Amino acid sequence: MRLNFHWMMCACLTAVLQIPAHQAAAQATTPQPPATTPTTPMAPPSPTTPTTPGGSAAQPATPPPAAPFRASKWELEVHGGLSLDLDHSAGTASLPTTGATVQGLLSLATFTFGNATALFNQARPGSPITSLDPVVGASMVRRPAGLAGGARVYRAINPRLGIDVSGDFLLGDAAFRSSALNGLEATRASVATALQQTLAASGQTSSASAATTIVDQQRATRIVATGSLVVNLAKNTRTTPYVLVGGGLVFTQDSSINAQVNAQYQVGSSSYLTGYDRVWLRTTEDFRSITVVGGAGIKHALSRHTGFRVDGRVHVYPSSRRTLVSVTPAQAASSTAGSLPLFNYGGGLQFSGVSPLNAPPFSSTTSFSASGLQAQVTLTAGFVLRF
């Protein structure tokens, strides 16, 4: 059994070692599959960077810088806005003489103001007349806010300086001050009462009345023409603040604003006396005045040829407003039977065919003259054409 195992091992080794030569050659010449190594996926190719002929990497192209903003040489503007007249009431009163005592009797041009009112009230102090002096001897009117419109031409000297020529039409009204209206009414009421009570003491048939006629809120326009030096506070920018100073002329149209106080009395019946007291007040200003202008604003270019401007200016010029007064006294007598009434109240106050309204009339006499400076403010916004 042991011999058989050794014999079988030897036979196997002999069979292995004795492989035929033609089989070995065939195995040597038969192609074998190559050994494979696991690979990872390749990344996509990266974009190549352009190179210059010298081999260095080229830089990305940059856009050219924007051209700087250039201010226009010429600008033409139309504008509109508000006009404000700063209230000015300072001045000097110079009331005309309206009464005197002549040969012991009062000679009056009116009952309503001046020394005539003082003489009348001294003669009969019981029910005095409220004098019109605070109205006649003051600035009676004012100008409320109105509209402004006009045009301007601007010419640049350099980016900092320019010349501005401006014309403005200021549309507004003249109106009585409330103090003037109150004064007119107080005088009207008091003169009627005083005359009624005075004539009642005569014991004869008598009457007295007074009325006011007021023309208020009337058109009063101004035209302002100026030239100014403009200083731009920024240069070569779309938005440019500026200040300006200059001068020119103001043209003022007088308004038709006026007031009348008309008093009338009558004493007697078949024979009677009638007296008429007419007072007319109005104002006036110089047609032309020299003005100084100062202001500031801001302008903005919307495009190469258009823009807008917001502007504020103050025009300062001498105040020339005056109050003018006219007085027309008159008396009449009528008799159908008997003599004309004659009534001596006392204190030189006599009602007869020759008194008391027998002083000379006067017309457009200055009773107040303004002094100092007047200021006109304009606030406007406008459309600008740029060239």
Counting every residue, how long is the chain?
A: 387
What pLDDT shows up at residue 66?
Answer: 54
Q: Does pLDDT of 377 surpass 80?
A: yes
pLDDT for the residue numbered 67? 55
> Which three-class secondary structure state does DSSP give residue 189?
helix
Residues 246 and 181: their CA atoms lie apart, in Å, by 38
Please give the pLDDT value at position 126.
83
Q: What is the pLDDT of residue 36?
A: 45
| Spatial CB neighbours of 299, under 8 Å, sequence gap ≥ 6 | 75, 239, 240, 242, 307, 308, 309, 310, 384
pLDDT of residue 59: 58
pLDDT one-digit tens code per residue, 233-275: 998 899 999 999 999 999 999 889 999 999 999 999 888 999 9
Number of Cβ within 10 Å of residue 315's Cβ equals 26
Confidence of residue 88 (pLDDT cuts 50, 70, 90): confident
**What's the CATH number for 74-386?**
2.40.160.20
User: Which residue is associated with the tokens 């503007």?
Assistant: 77
Percent of the chain with pLDDT over 90: 72
Mean pLDDT of 31-41: 46
More confident residue, 21 or 369: 369
Instruction: Grade residue 65 by pLDDT with cuts at 50, 70 and 90.
Output: low
pLDDT tens track for 135-180: 999 999 999 999 999 999 999 999 999 999 999 999 999 999 999 9
Q: Reply yes or no on whether the pLDDT at 42 is more than 90.
A: no
CB 73 within 8 A of CB 386: no
> What residue spans define the domains of the chain?
74-386
Q: What value does the mean pLDDT take over residues 190-209?
A: 94
115/98 Cα distance (integer angstroms): 6
Task: Give the position of tokens 């195995």.
Answer: 27
Place of tokens 């020339």: 320
Q: pTM of the predicted model, to two decimals?
A: 0.78
In the block, which residue shows the tokens 């047609």? 287
The DSSP code for 96 is P
- Cβ(129)–Cβ(112) under 8 Å? yes
pLDDT digits (tens, 9 = 90+) for 312-360: 999 999 999 999 999 999 999 887 767 888 899 989 999 998 889 999 9
Whether the pLDDT of residue 24 is over 60: the answer is no
* Token pair of 232 as six digits: 């731009």
